[in-house]
Chains A and B, each alone.
Chain A
Amino acid sequence: EPEVTQTPSHQVTQMGQEVILRCVPISNHLYFYWYRQILGQKVEFLVSFYNNEISEKSEIFDDQFSVERPDGSNFTLKIRSTKLEDSAMYFCASLTGSLGTGELFFGEGSRLTVL
């Protein structure tokens, strides 16, 4: 069964460092997302990406965050200068071409720990 893959599974970084989280969505999917989940809290939306541009972003997704799909397969989330409060599980998700009916396929997540 096709799946969304994410790397790294766990990253520890110092506050102020840049982090790049990588995702390979399911190949024929058209919509891509990043969500995050702080320990013990809800899964919360960060950003959606379609047709090589951001289609929507949350208020969490400030100037420190960026996404890109550099080569048509990888989908990356960059945090430019990490803060302690960025510590969370980051989930990549993808969706087929049908917005109104689609289930989100999530990856297993990248756990980010900022010290």
Chain B
Amino acid sequence: SQKIEQNSEALNIQEGKTATLTCNYTNYSPAYLQWYRQDPGRGPVFLLLIRENEKEKRKERLKVTFDTTLKQSLFHITASQPADSATYLCALPHGSSNTGKLIFGQGTTLQVKP
């Protein structure tokens, strides 16, 4: 079955450094991959979508890469700030679904210390 793995351990970094989060998936070939941010007790907020034919996508301080051979996406936040502290979720479309259904990873919690 389709599986998405994110590092469940929290990532602690110093303000100003680059945070790198990993999303690995198995058993299918998604047409695209999305990253969301989730703050405690709140709904996920969309950040970026990258398609299977794109290697890299950027938006302000965010960068996402998508390696369909390794079945992996990396999510980078450069010049990190304490306000970037949150849980970041990787999401992929369900392989057999044509309904927009997404499967989410368990998320990686980022803590940026001032």
Q: Using CB atoms and an 8 Å cutoff, list the residues of chain A in contact with chain B.
A: 4, 31, 33, 41-45, 48, 50, 55-56, 89, 91, 93, 95, 99-109, 111
Contacts and interface: CB of A to CB of B under 8 A. Distances in A.
Q: Is chain B's interface secondary structure helix, strand, loop, or mixed overall?
A: loop
Nearest to B44: A106
B46 interface: yes
B100 A103 contact: no
Given A42-B105, A56-B97, 16 more contacts: A31-B100, A42-B104, A42-B107, A43-B44, A45-B94, A45-B103, A99-B98, A99-B100, A100-B31, A102-B100, A103-B46, A104-B100, A106-B43, A106-B44, A106-B45, A109-B43
Contacts, number: 60
Contacts of B98: 99
A45 B101 contact: yes
Given A103-B34, A103-B49, A33 B43 contact: no
Contact of B106 (A33, A41, A45): A41
Which residue, A41, A43, A100, A102, has most C-beta atoms of chain B within 10 A?
A43
Contacts of A56: 97, 99, 101
B42 to A, nearest CB: 6
